[in-house]
Chains A and B, each alone.
Chain A
Amino acid sequence: MNKDTANTEHYVAPLEETPLAETDSVKEETKALSLWGEAWRNLRTQPLFIISALLILLILTVAAFPGLFTSASPDEGCLLANSDGGPAPGHPLGYTFQGCDVYARVIYGTRASVLVGLLTTIAVVIIGGILGALAGYYGGWLDAILARLGDIFFALPLILGAIIIMQLPAFRENRTTVTVVFTLLIFGWPQVARITRGAVISVRNADFVVASRSLGVSKFSALMKHVIPNSLAPVIVIATISLGTFIVAEATLSFLGIGLPPSIMSWGNDISAAQTSLRSNPSTLLWPAAALSITVLSFIMLGDAVRDALDPKARKR
C-alpha cells in the first residue's frame, strides 16, 4: 500500500474492543465512603499508624490503670538502704537515689504526663480553634486584632514566659496539673489558631458555602455546618503532633522546677531528681527519659500517619 494513503486513511477501532460505556454510571457495588471513611480505610493498613496506635493504647492503659503493671509502690516503702541499687527481683530497673523503685515510678509517672498532654491539647484546640475560626471566617478588624494578639504570644519564649507565670503568687503557692496546663495553653493556642484560620480561609469562599448561603443558611450556621467540618483535618494533625510536644514542655518545666510540684509523680520530676546520681547510676535518668521519648514519638508518628491519610496528595505512592 502507498504510504501516503496509509497515513490519511480513515481508521475506526473495532467496536467490540472499545465499547461505549455509560458516560454517567454509578458504581452500585462498592460501599459508600465518606472522606473520613476513606481515610480510615487507608490508615488501617499503614504500619506507622498500627505501631503508633498500639503504643498509644498501651500508654493510655498504663496511665489509667498503673496498678495493673506493677505491684511495687512508687513512693511508699522507699528505703534509703536501696539508694541507687541495681535491679533486684520484683524491681527490674533498680532503685533511685531515694531508694524508690524506678520501674514503679516510670509507670506511675505516666498519668501526670499524659494528662497534661491531653488536657493542654483539648484546651488549645478549643481556644485556638474558636479564635482562629472566627478570625478567618469573619475577617476584617476581628482578624487583625486576633492575628496580632497571636503574634505577640508567638513571640514570647515558652520557658521564659512560663517561669514568670509560674512565679506569680497565685501559681507559686499551689502548683497543680491545672496550672501547668494553663501555662502551656497561654503559649500554645496561637499555633492552632493560625492553622485553623488558614484552613477556614481556604474553605470559606468555596462554592458549597456560597451555595448553602444562597439557600438561606445563615452566615453563622454555614460556619458551623460547612466550614468547620471541612477545616478540621489540618487541626487534628497539628493537635496530635503538638500533644507530644506538650508532654515534652511539661517535662521541661518540671525539670526546671517550675512545672508540676515534686509531690506529683511525673517523668520530668524524675529526670530532674536523677541529676544527682547521673554519674553513679545513669539508669535512673535513662528510663523516665526513654518512656518520655517513646510517648512523644508515638504521638508524632500518629500525627504523620493521620496527615497522610487525610491528605491524599501527600500520600506516598
Chain B
Amino acid sequence: MTINTENTAALQPLLEIRDLAISFSTSNGEVQAVRNAHLTVMPGETVAIVGESGSGKSTTALAAIGLLDGNGRVSGGQIIFDGEDISHASEKRLQELRGNSIGMVPQDPMSNLNPVWKIGFQVKETLRANGLPHTPADVAKVLEQAGLPDAERRAKQYPHEFSGGMRQRALIAIGLSCRPRLLIADEPTSALDVTVQRQILDHLGTLTDELGTAVLLITHDLGLAAERAQKVVVMYKGRVVESGPALEILTNPRHPYTRKLVESAPSLASKRIDSAKSLGVQSADLLTSEDSAKLKAADNVIEVKDLTKVFKLRSGLGKSTDFTAVDNVSFDIKRGTTTAVVGESGSGKSTVARMVLNLETPTSGSIMYNGVDMTTLNTKRLFEFRRRVQPIFQDPYGSLDPMYNIFRTIEEPLRVHKIGTAKSREAKVRELLDQVALPSSVMRRFPNELSGGQRQRVAIARALALDPEVVICDEAVSALDVLVQAQILNLLADLQSELGLSYLFITHDLAVVRQIADFVCVMEKGKLVETGTTDEVFDAPQQDYTRALLAAIPGSRLELPPEVA
C-alpha cells in the first residue's frame, strides 16, 4: 500500500454501515427488521435511502444514531462513524456524538417540537447540551441560518405560532445548530405542502453545502432522492437491494425492485411524459385519456357553478367570523373523463369534494348533476343520487369499518339500497372483487388483515357496487406506497375505460395528476386560479401559483437522458 496518509484521511468514509442486522423482540418472537444493510457516507456527501414503508430505511438510520426503540437491537454487523465502531457503544458515548457529530431532522414537524417551550429555548437547550455558547444572539444566529426571517422575535414564539414549514426550519436549525458532520434527515418534508417542501430542501441543500455536512436523507420518493443526493441506496424488505450513483440507478436499474420503482415513481413518470412529448410521441400512448377532440365533445355529467362555502368560526362569546373555504368555484366534469382538483392543504379542494358528495351544503351556487340541481333535492331523490356518485377516501386504514368483514363492507351499499336477494348480492360482491383484482377468499377477512393497497381496492369495490357514474377520489392514492400507488392508478384507469366512469380526483400531487387526469383545476386559498386540459396546464401554465406547483414536483429538475425518459 502506497497511499499517503493525507489522502486516506480525506477518503475515509464518515459513516460506514457494514452487514448491519437489526432485530426487534415482539410478542411474536424475534423479528428481523434489517439484514445485510451496508452503505457508506463520505464527508460532505448526500446519500439517500429510498424504500417503501416497512423497508427498514428509518430503522437503519436510527440505529446509526443509537435511537432504536427499546425492543430493538443491533444483532449483527458494524456501524462505523469516523473510524469508530459505535454499533454497541455506551449510551454516554452516543450522547456525546448526538447533536455534536450527528444531527437529526425528524419527520413530523407538528409533533417534534415541545409545545410548552419557546422555539428559542429549544434551540438553546441543544446548544447548551453540546457545550456551545448559548446567548440569545447565538440562538438567533442559528435560526437565521435556517432561513427564519426576523429570528430574534421568532425565538420568543411558541411552536403553535409557527406554520408547518417554519417549524421544519426550526427543527433543521436545531439539527444543524452544533455543526454536526453528519445530518440524518428522516422524510424531512413528507408532511409539508409541495411548494414548501421544495423551499425547505433547497435551503437544507445550500446550508449543508456551506457547512460541509454530510446528509443521510431518508425518503420514499425516488425522484426526490435522485434530485437531491449524489448516491442512492434502495432498500426493500429490510435489505439493501441496490446502491450506486443517483443517475446511474435511474438510468440503469438492475434489480427488479429498483426497475419497478423507477417505472412507477409518479415524479419520474411525469418527467417521462414530458420528455416523450418533447420527442413528439403522441400523448395518447402515455396518458389514459383518449384524444382531446373526443373529450371536448363529451357532455357534462356534473356542472359546478359559482360554488361558495362559508364556515362560521366561533370567536368568543356568541360572536363568529366568516371563513370562506370555497370562493366562487365553477367547473365541469365531462362524462367518461377525469377532472383533477389540485391544491395545497387549506385550498378548499376537499370541501369541494364534500359538497359534490352532498355531505356539506353549499352556502351559495349550484351543483348540477345530469341537468338537475342536486342542492335542492328532497330526501328520496337524494337517496337515488347517492347511488350514482360514490366516494373513495384517502386513508385506506380509516375508510373501512374495522368491525365489518370485507363481504359485509362491499355488500352494505347493496343492502342499504335494497338491491337483489342475498344470493345475487353475494354474486355481485364476487364480481366486484374480481374487477379490482382481489381473490374472493378475502370476503371473510377483516380490514386489519389486509395491506393498504388491498384495502384501497376494497374501498374501490364498495364504491363500484351501485354502478355509479361518477367516482370522487379524495386523495385516493396519497397514502399508498409508490408501487401500490401505480397499481391502483392503473386499476382506476382500466375501470374507467371498462365502465365509462367519470372521476373527480382531489389531490395535492401534481405528478399523479399528470398520469391520470384529462382536465385540471388548480385551487389556491378557496379560489380557482387556473383550469384547462392537463396538457395545457402542464405545458403552458398561466399563473405563477401553478408554475410554482409544477416546479415543486420532485425530480422536475433532473436531467434525464431520453432513453430512460
Which A residues contact B (CB, under 8 angstroms)?
Answer: 3-4, 7-13, 15, 17-18, 20-21, 23-24, 26-28, 30, 32-35, 38, 206-208, 210-217, 226, 229-230, 315, 317
Flag if A226 contacts B401 (CB, 8 Å).
yes
Chain B residues whose CB sits within 8 angstroms of the CB of A216 once the complex forms: 383, 386-387, 413, 416-417
- Contact partner, B240, options A13, A20, A229, Cβ 8 Å: A13
Chain B, range 261-317, C-beta contacts under 8 Å to A = none
Flag if B403 contacts A13 (CB, 8 Å).
no
Chain B residues whose CB sits within 8 angstroms of the CB of A206 once the complex forms: 398
Interface presence of B241 (CB below 8 A): yes
A7 vs B214: C-alpha distance when bound (angstroms): 15
Interface presence of B484 (CB below 8 A): yes
- Contact A26-B393, Cβ < 8 Å, known A8-B231, A20-B260: no
Q: Min CB distance, B457 to chain A, in Å?
A: 8
Interface presence of B454 (CB below 8 A): yes
Closest to B259 in A: A20
- Contact partner, B402, options A17, A23, A211, A230, Cβ 8 Å: A230
Flag if A23 contacts B240 (CB, 8 Å).
no
Chain A residues whose CB sits within 8 angstroms of the CB of B453 once the complex forms: 23-24
From DSSP, what is the main secondary structure of chain A's interface residues? loop
Chain A residues whose CB sits within 8 angstroms of the CB of B128 once the complex forms: none
Chain B, range 197-235, C-beta contacts under 8 Å to A = 231
Q: Min CB distance, A188 to chain B, in Å?
A: 27
Flag if B71 contacts A32 (CB, 8 Å).
no
Interface presence of B561 (CB below 8 A): no
What are the interface flags for B435-475 relative to A under an 8 Å C-beta threshold, 1 for contact and 0 otherwise?
00011011011101111011001010010001000000000
Closest to A226 in B: B401
Chain B residues whose CB sits within 8 angstroms of the CB of A20 once the complex forms: 256-257, 260
Chain A residues whose CB sits within 8 angstroms of the CB of B244 once the complex forms: 8-11
Q: Min CB distance, A298 to chain B, in Å?
A: 25
A-B complex: 3 closest residue pairs judged by Cβ atoms: A10-B244, A207-B399, A207-B398
Flag if B416 contacts A10 (CB, 8 Å).
no
Flag if B416 contacts A23 (CB, 8 Å).
no
- Contact partner, A210, options B236, B393, B462, Cβ 8 Å: B393
Contacts A4-B11, A10-B245, A13-B36 known; 16 new A-B pairs at CB < 8 A: A18-B236, A24-B484, A27-B449, A32-B405, A32-B444, A32-B445, A35-B403, A207-B394, A208-B399, A212-B401, A213-B359, A214-B386, A214-B390, A215-B412, A230-B401, A317-B71
From DSSP, what is the main secondary structure of chain B's interface residues? mixed
A137 vs B40: C-alpha distance when bound (angstroms): 54
Interface presence of B160 (CB below 8 A): no
Q: Min CB distance, A135 to chain B, in Å?
A: 19
Q: Min CB distance, A176 to chain B, in Å?
A: 39
Flag if B237 contacts A32 (CB, 8 Å).
no
Chain A residues whose CB sits within 8 angstroms of the CB of B481 once the complex forms: 23
Flag if B257 contacts A18 (CB, 8 Å).
yes
Flag if A34 contacts B405 (CB, 8 Å).
yes
Flag if A317 contacts B386 (CB, 8 Å).
no
Flag if B240 contacts A11 (CB, 8 Å).
yes
Chain A residues whose CB sits within 8 angstroms of the CB of B242 once the complex forms: 10-13
- Contact A3-B393, Cβ < 8 Å, known A214-B357, A230-B403: no
Closest to B386 in A: A216
Flag if A26 contacts B383 (CB, 8 Å).
no
Q: Min CB distance, A277 to chain B, in Å?
A: 51
A21 vs B412: C-alpha distance when bound (angstroms): 32
Chain A residues whose CB sits within 8 angstroms of the CB of B42 once the complex forms: 7
A209 vs B212: C-alpha distance when bound (angstroms): 51
Q: Min CB distance, A5 to chain B, in Å?
A: 11
Flag if A215 contacts B416 (CB, 8 Å).
yes
Interface presence of B243 (CB below 8 A): yes
- Contact A35-B402, Cβ < 8 Å, known A18-B239, A26-B438, A214-B390: yes
Interface presence of B395 (CB below 8 A): yes
Flag if A215 contacts B413 (CB, 8 Å).
yes
- Contact partner, B27, options A15, A34, A214, A315, Cβ 8 Å: A315
- Contact partner, B241, options A7, A13, A23, A38, Cβ 8 Å: A13
What are the interface flags for B375-407 relative to A under an 8 Å C-beta threshold, 1 for contact and 0 otherwise?
000000001001101110111001111110100
A26 vs B443: C-alpha distance when bound (angstroms): 11
Instruction: Count chain A CB atoms within 10 A of each CB in B257, B400, B439, B453 and give the residue with the most.
Output: B257
Flag if B255 contacts A15 (CB, 8 Å).
yes
Q: Min CB distance, A27 to chain B, in Å?
A: 7
Interface presence of B434 (CB below 8 A): no
Instruction: Count chain B CB atoms within 10 A of each CB in A34, A206, A215 and give the residue with the most.
Output: A215
A217 vs B453: C-alpha distance when bound (angstroms): 25
Closest to B256 in A: A20
Q: Min CB distance, A287 to chain B, in Å?
A: 40
Interface presence of B487 (CB below 8 A): yes
Chain A residues whose CB sits within 8 angstroms of the CB of B402 once the complex forms: 35, 208, 230
- Contact A211-B459, Cβ < 8 Å, known A33-B449, A35-B403: yes
Flag if A11 contacts B403 (CB, 8 Å).
no
Chain B residues whose CB sits within 8 angstroms of the CB of A215 once the complex forms: 386, 390, 412-413, 416, 462, 466
- Contact A34-B403, Cβ < 8 Å, known A24-B454, A216-B413: yes
Interface presence of B483 (CB below 8 A): yes
Q: Min CB distance, A179 to chain B, in Å?
A: 38
Flag if B454 contacts A26 (CB, 8 Å).
yes
Chain B residues whose CB sits within 8 angstroms of the CB of A30 once the complex forms: 449
A211 vs B487: C-alpha distance when bound (angstroms): 22
Flag if B400 contacts A35 (CB, 8 Å).
no
Chain A residues whose CB sits within 8 angstroms of the CB of B71 once the complex forms: 317
Interface presence of B13 (CB below 8 A): yes
- Contact partner, B449, options A4, A32, A317, Cβ 8 Å: A32
Interface presence of B248 (CB below 8 A): yes
Q: Min CB distance, A196 to chain B, in Å?
A: 16
A207 vs B254: C-alpha distance when bound (angstroms): 40
A317 vs B245: C-alpha distance when bound (angstroms): 41
A215 vs B449: C-alpha distance when bound (angstroms): 24
Q: Min CB distance, A29 to chain B, in Å?
A: 10
Flag if B448 contacts A12 (CB, 8 Å).
no
Chain A residues whose CB sits within 8 angstroms of the CB of B243 once the complex forms: 10-11
Flag if B241 contacts A12 (CB, 8 Å).
yes
Interface presence of B183 (CB below 8 A): no
A216 vs B405: C-alpha distance when bound (angstroms): 19
Interface presence of B25 (CB below 8 A): yes
- Contact A317-B403, Cβ < 8 Å, known A7-B42, A211-B393, A214-B359: no
Q: Min CB distance, A222 to chain B, in Å?
A: 10
